[in-house]
Amino acid sequence: MASLKSIKKRIVSVKNTRQITKAMKMVSAAKLRRAQENVVAARPYAKKLGEVMQSLATNLEGDLHPLLEKRDAKKLLLIVITSDRGLCGGFNTNLCKAGDRYIKEKMNSYEQVSVLTVGRKGYEFLKSRYTVYKNFANVLAKPSYQTAAMLAQEVIDGFVAGEYDQVELLYNSFRTVMSQDITFQQLLPVEPEVTGASDETPVEYIYEPSVGELLAEILPKNIEVQIFKAMLETVAGEHGARMTAMDSASKNANEMIGKLTLQYNRARQAAITTELMEIISGSESIKG
């Protein structure tokens, strides 16, 4: 049996760990709330923009915008959004693994699959396997629209220049605090959702300037918003995942402390019993 001292030491160290995991859980809970608010706040904008785009796309005549152009998909760009920091359970690992599988699968049908990462964890995972041609780290601590816009610009430039024919986004979408969904989303070319023919009576809008020009402005915006939304959801998901992970870590620590305390008490009891035995047998032998 382990010595009393070493058990005591372990108890103390587990207690320290518990302290940390508890604190991290609280921090995540607070951050989660804020991140969740951000996600909710960004939703109306994304939704409205989508609606406007729909109504424009259905009214579009004439030339297609370059961002709508469908080419033979040969070169794929996958944008992987992960968190910068770990200790959030399988949040990043699961996403990276899904990405890894996806890339392997796509390697067969595409000539070239490039990877762009946002967040340190995804970069570290994927750089050893593929060439990550660009990484944006430390942008998620405070996700800003500017970052999303910058990233979107980069992607759009690459797409228009023909560096890739298809762009997909891989991120954890925020479903509930406990669960995040791994989501693949096609960014480019933009595919306007085909709404059913039973569309509500189409409203005749006055467009100023023309539909084409409006669409040309709104398409890149839409990509920015999609990326921004993905970033916000990743942040919310990260905190959610960390909170759950830290909660279960705290629970495990409690359990461990319980077990160790039991062991400690047993060991102490055993030590006392042995000492008593020694004393009794000692006094017995004196008597005898």
Partner 1 sequence: MAEKMKLEIVTPYKKVVDTEIEEVTATGKLGEFGVLPGHAPFLTSLKIGELVFKNNGVTEHMSLNWGYFEVCDDKIIVLVETAETASEIDIERAKAAQGRAEEALKKLTSEDKQFKVYEAALERAIIRMQVAGKAVRK
Catalytic residue positions, numbered: 88
- Closest to partner 1 by CB, 111 vs 213, is 213
Q: Where are the alpha helices (DSSP H) in 59-144?
A: 91-109, 120-127
Q: Which of 38, 92, 147, 172 binds partner 1 (CB under 8 A)?
A: 38
Which residue lies nearer to partner 1 by CB, 62 or 209?
209
209 is a contact residue toward partner 1 (CB under 8 A)? yes
Contact 222, 215 (CB under 8 A): no
Residue 48 contacts partner 1 per CB under 8 A: yes
Tokens (6 digits) for 263: 């062991």
Task: Give the pairing of strands 166-174 and 132-136.
Answer: unpaired
Residue 7 contacts residue 264 (beta carbons within 8 Å): yes
Give the integer Cα–Cα distance in Å for 72 and 215: 23
How far apart, in whole angstroms, are the C-alpha atoms of residue 17 and residue 224?
41
CA separation for the pair 80, 171 (Å, rounded):
6
Residues 143-162 that bind partner 1 (CB under 8 A): 145
User: Is 199 a binder of partner 1 (CB under 8 A)?
Assistant: no
CB of 218 to partner 1, least distance (A): 7
In this chain, which stretch among 61-69, 193-201, 205-213, 238-246 interacts with partner 1, using CB under 8 A? 205-213
DSSP 238-283: HHHHHHHHHHHHHHHHHHHHHHHHHHHHHHHHHHHHHHHHHHHHHH
With CB under 8 A as the contact rule, the residue among 49, 68, 182, 256 that binds partner 1 is: 49
Among 77, 225, 236, 253, binds partner 1 (CB under 8 A): 225
Least separation, in Å, of the C-beta of 31 and partner 1? Answer: 17
DSSP state letter for 131: -
Q: Would you say 8 and 236 are in contact if contact means Cβ atoms under 8 Å apart?
A: no
Cβ of 21: how many Cβ atoms within 10 Å? 21
- The reply on whether position 72 binds partner 1 by CB under 8 A is no
288 binds partner 1 (CB under 8 A): no
54 touches partner 1 (CB under 8 A) = no
Contact call for residue 207 and partner 1 (CB under 8 A) = yes
Contacts of 283 (CB under 8 A, 6+ apart): none
Q: Does 63 bind partner 1 (CB under 8 A)?
A: no
Q: What is the smallest separation between the CB atom of 143 and partner 1, expressed in angstroms? A: 10
Q: Assess 21 for contact with partner 1 (CB under 8 A).
A: no
| Among the listed residues 200, 203, 284, 288, the single contact to partner 1 using CB under 8 A | 203
Binding-site size, partner 1 (CB under 8 A) = 25
Exposure letters 240-257 (e unless 16+ CB within 10 A, then b) = bbbbbbbbebbeebeebb
The reply to whether 60 sits near partner 1 by the rule CB under 8 A is no
**Given the rule CB under 8 A, which residues bind partner 1?**
38, 41-42, 44-46, 48-49, 52, 55-56, 145, 203-209, 213-214, 217-218, 225, 228
